[in-house]
Structure 1
Amino acid sequence: MTMSTAQGFEPPPGPEEESVCRVCGYDEELFWEGGWPTNAICPCCGNESDIKDLSVMGIRDYRGYWVGHGAQWNSPPLKPKDWDLLKQIANIPPEWR
């Protein structure tokens, strides 16, 4: 048992900082900060960073649903003119693919 657990505090569940969406690879938003999800909504795929993002299967399910429905942008005005889905998905960290 760690000191923080002994005192009733749980350690943060995630990375100290993460700016890449685990679902689509979008990389212009802070999705995790201080080990906790920021609840930021990805303007690309619409995923909200939260504790559910700790499950690789959950991430893969959402990604499959999003891509299967045409990989539509959640915030179309922010979509780059030269956007390339495959290049963006390559940004996803290996542990979340």
Structure 2
Amino acid sequence: MNNNENLACRVCGLIQCEEPWGEDGKIPNYAICACCGTEFGYEDYTKESVLIQRKKWLDAGGGWWELKDKPNNWNINEQLKNIPIDYK
């Protein structure tokens, strides 16, 4: 797994400050993604749960959980490209 994949939210692709699933990709930190609101280790535990959570997020408009963290030049399509390949 490359560094971007280690740092990306499995649901929305937002690059995090710390690896949501640790350096080995196996131990979640249970933080909340500022973009989609996913709790790492809970709502993104399996590929199936990731796909369900992503659909719910996109169906709700793909908005930001923490609006204060949303970049001015945010592009949802560019961010979605960061999703780790195993969770697309």
Which of 66, 69, 74 aligns to 1:75? It is 66
Whether the aligned pair in 1 keeps the contact of 2:7 and 2:17 (CA below 8 Å) is yes
State the Cα distance separating 1:53 from its structure 2 match.
2.4
Match of 1:96 in 2: 87
Alignment of 1:40 with 2:31, yes or no, is: yes
More strand by share: 1
Whether the aligned pair in 2 keeps the contact of 1:20 and 1:29 (CA below 8 Å) is no
After superposition, the Cα gap between the structure-2 partners of 1:64 and 1:78, relative to the gap in structure 1 and judged at 3 Å, is: same
Distance 2:36 2:43 in 1: 15
Higher Cα radius of gyration: 1
In the alignment of these two chains, the number of paired residues is 81
Distance 1:40 1:48 in 2: 6
TM-score by length of 1: 0.76
Q: Which runs of 5 or more structure 2 residues have no equivalent in the other structure?
A: none
Alignment of 1:19 with 2:10, yes or no, is: no
State the Cα distance separating 1:28 from its structure 2 match.
2.4
Q: Which runs of 5 or more structure 1 residues have no equivalent in the other structure?
A: 1-16
State the Cα distance separating 1:33 from its structure 2 match.
1.6
Whether the aligned pair in 2 keeps the contact of 1:45 and 1:72 (CA below 8 Å) is yes
